[in-house]
Amino acid sequence: MAKTKIWKVQKRLDHVIDYATNEEKTRKNSSGYGMDRFDNISQVMTYATNPDKTEKQFYTTGINCEVKDSVKQMQLVKMIYGKENGILAFHAYQSFNEGEVTPEIAHEIGVKLANEMWGDRFQVVVSTHLNAEHLHNHFVINSVSFKDGKKYYSNLTNTALLRKTSDEICEEYGLSVLTEKTCKSGINFENFYKKSMRDSDYYKFAKEDIDYAIKHSYTLKQFQQMLVSMGYNYCYRADKLSVKREPYKRNIRVERAFGEDYSLKNIKRRIFENDYIRSEKILPYMVVKNRHFTTRNKVRKKYRPKGIVALYYYYRYLLKLYTKKNVQYKLTPEMRAEVKKMDEYSERIRFLCKYKIETMSDVDSIKEQKQEELQKILNIRNRLYYKRQKLDNGIEKDRVTKEIIDVTSTLTRIRKEIRLCDKFYDDVPKMKEQIKELDDKEKQKIKEKEQEKKLKEKKKVLEVGAGRECI
């Protein structure tokens, strides 16, 4: 069983360097085990790579950096992208039960976890400490990506992903995992992770494509070929399917992301059911008596509609209602993303028309109004929650629960409208820039046309002058 946690490191770099060169402090902190006191990057690195705890750094690995020069290399990335302030790094750990793993296995798991979580974009130092009865891994992650200069954002979703990934790797090695899904504050990590899956277009479209491939495949090989044809790369890890599509760099572990129905076993079962359904649908048509067939090299004449039936098909053809095949083409992920954008724009237009919004001051007033309304309804719901707790009658409880559900649906609608107002604040500056660019382009076109006109007039004058000289 492995426990995980992550902290941010955000002190000044000169303090980090001072601390790195202070042997007294380094020696003092190396004697104990406590995370909360480590709040600068060099201090964390010193603790994580302490030879007394790692058996002379035998169990220390650098990902996208060298362990000895990891501080300098991380600082260099920050300097390149001009992001030397703010959060400098993140410090995470992974702790195992006493006697459950060997140092080699613990470090191997730590390296796999770091590669899975941060290896494609960030510099990471992985270190396995052997000084305690329970072995544990430390991870020092640079806050700035060496790939694109973007900062790592540690939120509840990423914390849930860290926990989830750690559990999956532990399961691969036959280790126990935590059964409880909530932390001390009551936050359900499973729910946060699933929500992030629902909100991500990458995961949403991947799920749709996998369902489509399963539905239209009759063997596992055909299913894999269909995934490849849709632009996905696939691999199997411990009999679990993972897929990835460009330009995204993260693999999607299908079963983890979408549930048990997407385990390799259940995917095969769903494909087999497709094959069974196909046989049931096709085989009866093969024994129909009226079906056309060849006898003694003679082909029976195909039935052709006559009279009013033929006229009906003719008019369907003229109205373009008749097609030879009812073929449905699957949209590409790019097209689906554009369709989603169109839906969002339509929603915003309907919102503008509904409240007759013309200026940003109208947006401000609507938002203020909705926030007041939101607070009132929240108070109502809290009173209903309190009322339900006091009730003993089951019928009354059910009635109050229905009221709470209705109030919650109203809250959802109001929060959605508030988010739409916030989107206008983000969109207006972008729209102004786009309008400015269009105006500049239009002015440039007008200028070019005027220059062309002047050149033509000048050319005409020169031609007239040359004609007079000839006369």
64 torsion bin: left (phi>0), alpha (psi -120 to 50), beta (else): left
Model pLDDT, residue 9: 63
What is the mean predicted confidence (pLDDT) over 412-435? 83
Give the ranges where 49-155 is alpha helix by DSSP (H): 51-54, 70-81, 103-117
Q: Are strands 241-245 and 2-9 parallel, antiparallel or unpaired?
A: unpaired
Length of the chain: 471
Model pLDDT, residue 279: 41
Distance CA 87, CA 40 (A): 9
Which amino acid, residue 308?
Answer: I
User: Are the CB atoms for 418 and 370 separated by under 8 Å?
Assistant: yes
Distance CA 94, CA 173 (A): 15
- 129 CB-near residues (< 8 Å, 6+ apart): 33, 50, 53, 54, 135, 136, 137, 138
Model pLDDT, residue 38: 41
- In degrees, rounded to 5, the angle at the alpha carbon of residue 159 between the alpha carbons of residues 417 and 57 is 155
User: Are the CB atoms for 149 and 81 separated by under 8 Å?
Assistant: yes
Using the predicted structure, report yes or no on whether residue 122 has a pLDDT greater than 80.
yes
Q: Which two tokens stand for residue 274?
A: 């497709």
Question: Exposed, middle or buried by CB within 10 Å (0-12, 13-18, 19+), for 403?
Answer: middle
Top-ranked range on mean pLDDT: pick from 51-65, 108-122, 280-294, 364-378: 364-378
Using the predicted structure, report yes or no on whether residue 250 has a pLDDT greater than 60.
yes
CA torsion angle 14 16 20 24 (round to 10): 100
Using the predicted structure, report yes or no on whether residue 187 has a pLDDT greater than 90.
no
Nearest Cα neighbor of 191 from 152, 153, 166, 156 is: 156
Q: 147: which DSSP letter?
A: T
Read off the pLDDT band of 28 (50, 70, 90): very low
Proportion of the chain above pLDDT 70, given as a percent: 71
2-190 topology per CATH? BirA Bifunctional Protein; domain 2 (3.30.930)
Q: 261: which DSSP letter?
A: G
> Of all helices (H) and strands (E), which one includes residue 298?
strand 298-299
Model pLDDT, residue 414: 92
- 291 CB-near residues (< 8 Å, 6+ apart): 285
- 159 CB-near residues (< 8 Å, 6+ apart): 4, 6, 189, 192
Nearest Cα neighbor of 374 from 382, 362, 385 is: 382
Distance CA 107, CA 251 (A): 22
User: Are the CB atoms for 126 and 111 separated by under 8 Å?
Assistant: yes
* Domain boundary assignment for the chain: 2-190, 200-297, 333-455
Using the predicted structure, report yes or no on whether residue 207 has a pLDDT greater than 60.
yes
The overall average pLDDT reported for the chain is 75
